[in-house]
Chains A and B, each alone.
Chain A
Amino acid sequence: MSDFETIAASENHAAVPGPAGSTGAPNQPDNTSKVRSLAGDAWRDLRRSPVFIISSLVILVMVVMAAFPGLFSSADPHSCELSRSMQGPSGDAIFGYNLQGCDVYARTVHGASTSMQVGFYSALLAGLIAVVVGMLAGFYGGLLDAILARIIDIVLGIPLLLAAIVALKARSSSEDGYWGQLLLVVVVLSIFGWTTAARIVRSSVISAKNQDYVHAARMLGASNGRIMLKHILPNAMAPVIVVMTIALGAFITAEATLSFLGVGLKDPIISWGKDISESTQRVRESAIPLVAPSVFLSLTVLAFIMLGDAVREAFDPRLR
């Protein structure tokens, strides 16, 4: 499973965009006379990077597919007739039908919405936890920092997949309905997936809190809350967004893996992982029900991870 921590671990050594990313600090006048910001440089690089363009396009297509599945397929993914079981591709269903006689293409298209929602909500929630915990730990320091750092260490020490299996095994069932199930998976993934980002927030908050603009704000009588929200937070956000983009891909993978193992999402939710798992029973007859969701899933995850990677690299001043 492309675990969030694993991917983040590979990034530990390459710097995540520091607080300088959005402050527009003048750096490297290059060969032109105009002083450009790091963000400006990064954006100029990104616009020319094929990886960035392709992954953005893939994500855009997937977002549209998630929001308006009707644009891509008019068939009902829930209408399944056993008489059509394992029928090959035809004019009505370009990917044919699966074991239950459901339209594979329609199910694959509708699966995008589930994956995107799980990914976005989990990344948002995990990012929120990370920002709150990292900010408090970094800003106040001392005992609070020590306690929060220990909590981060402990949560980091629990393998995401194993923890999610136990948590979901005990609680998930089809009776929770669509939102109940989705929410449960999102909460479980976020609870175990916020730690790496929290560490990053913490370190950028620590480096930001001794900057002159923070001292200046304090001199002007700004409260701690105002300093944290208005001054430090905007400068600590850039690295978090990059990490959460990569994490979004990892969360989609985690949901698919869990559904594949039979502990994630259940009927009536359409999940690529679940469809892949079902297709394996009769894969010798037709591989399309296996390949179609697998390709969509891989493309989506790959796009998020490559996007995050490209942005991170563009912001890394050491590679300039």
Chain B
Amino acid sequence: MLRYIVRRLLQMVLAFFCTTFIVYSMMFATGDPLTSLAGEGKELNDAVKAKLTRDFHLDEPFLVRYWYYIKGLLTFDLGDSLSQRPIAEILGEAWSYTIQLAAIAFVFVVILGVVGGVIAGMRRGGVFDNVTLFLTLVVIGIPSFVIGLMLSTFPGGKWGWFTPGYDADKGIATLIVPGFVLGALALATAVRLTRTSVAENLRSDYVRTAKAKGLKKTRIIGVHVLRNSLIPVVTFLGVEIGNLMGGAIVTERIFNIPGVGFQLFKGINLSDGPVVVTIVSVLVVVYLLANLLVDILYAVLDPRIRYS
């Protein structure tokens, strides 16, 4: 187990350097780095130019610049936005909203996804199965920003069923619908994955053996089938944590939630290069960490992986 974790950690270090390098070089891929940072067609005064050059070490070669950027990321020294605000401070304020939002989405995905998937998988071909299959396909097919906009415009805005945006007074309750929208795609995928995997495992030899031994159905499903069926689902959920972070840009923009995604969106609109690069880099690191965590969890769930 320890060997597995160490190997995984080493791979993660490599992935960290590669992905951050890709993100960083994309930012400065073309033209004048100052334009890349501050956006097209903006007249910069000399003070800002000097500051940007100093902060991003633009007078040094690319690799040195990358090195400073990595050092900043690892020591949480994230620099300032174009409007002179420390990015760490912006992120510090925004994190709690995004985490709450992602947590709500995650609860939806795990509970509804696994329960729905198990029921559908047990009754493969039944009415519930066919209805979920169709509904999940529709959810996968409709872009999540369209789902979000429709919900916030009609039931939220016009019909007044819920507050169509974040309201600090009402707190976390106003995050439930956005959380659902954020998790909708992952939920649909989780249902389909669990369903396929449960349906497959139900036909396997070990289930027949368990039945032959006279085990109760609840134990067969709850312990034997579920543990085996959840392996692909857990992997998917780990990848999904990262996608939830990315998807938060859309959800937070639609529902006006002052989270990380909203700050990223603001950064995009204000052509604030430092904010965009830093937030994306931090999100990518979160994503990598989530994947690492899941891989370890994966090994706990499935002994076959641990020893290979």
Contact = CB atoms under 8 A, between A and B. Distances in A.
Interface of A: 1-3, 5-7, 9-10, 12-14, 150, 153-154, 157-163, 165-167, 169-171, 173, 175, 249, 253, 256-257, 260-263, 273, 276, 280, 283-284, 287, 290-291, 294, 297-298, 301-303, 305-306, 309
Contact of B142 (A150, A160, A298): A298
B185 A2 contact: yes
Enumerate the 6 nearest inter-chain pairs by beta-carbon distance, A residue then B residue, closest first. A302-B141, A159-B246, A298-B142, A10-B189, A161-B246, A253-B143
Contacts of A169: 27, 268, 271, 273, 276
A72 B38 CA distance: 42
A166 B150 contact: no
A146 to B, nearest CB: 12
29 contacts: A1-B185, A2-B144, A3-B243, A9-B236, A9-B239, A10-B192, A13-B196, A14-B196, A153-B15, A154-B14, A157-B287, A158-B22, A159-B283, A159-B287, A160-B246, A162-B283, A163-B23, A165-B249, A166-B23, A166-B27, A169-B268, A260-B145, A261-B265, A261-B268, A283-B157, A297-B143, A298-B142, A301-B141, A306-B137
Given A13-B196, A280-B149, A302-B141, A6 B242 contact: no
A167 B157 contact: no
Looking at B26, B236, B242, B253, which has the most chain A CB atoms within 10 Å of its CB?
Answer: B26
Nearest to B22: A158
Interface in B19-76: 19, 22-23, 26-30, 36, 40-41
Contacts of A249: 141
A275 to B, nearest CB: 12
Nearest to B37: A170
A169 to B, nearest CB: 5
A298 B26 contact: no
Interface residues of B, number: 64
Nearest to A7: B140
B116 to A, nearest CB: 13
Nearest to B287: A159
Contacts of A158: 19, 22-23, 284
A contacts with B: majority SS: helix
A287 B153 contact: yes
Looking at A150, A162, A260, A302, which has the most chain B CB atoms within 10 Å of its CB?
Answer: A162
A305 B200 CA distance: 23
A159 B146 contact: no
Given A6-B189, A9-B236, A170 B153 contact: no
B83 to A, nearest CB: 17
B291 A2 contact: no
Nearest to B288: A157
Interface in B111-144: 137-138, 140-144
Contacts of B243: 1, 3, 6, 159, 161
Contacts of A280: 149, 153, 254
Contact of A309 (B137, B150, B153, B287): B137
Given A2-B143, A153-B15, A9 B26 contact: no
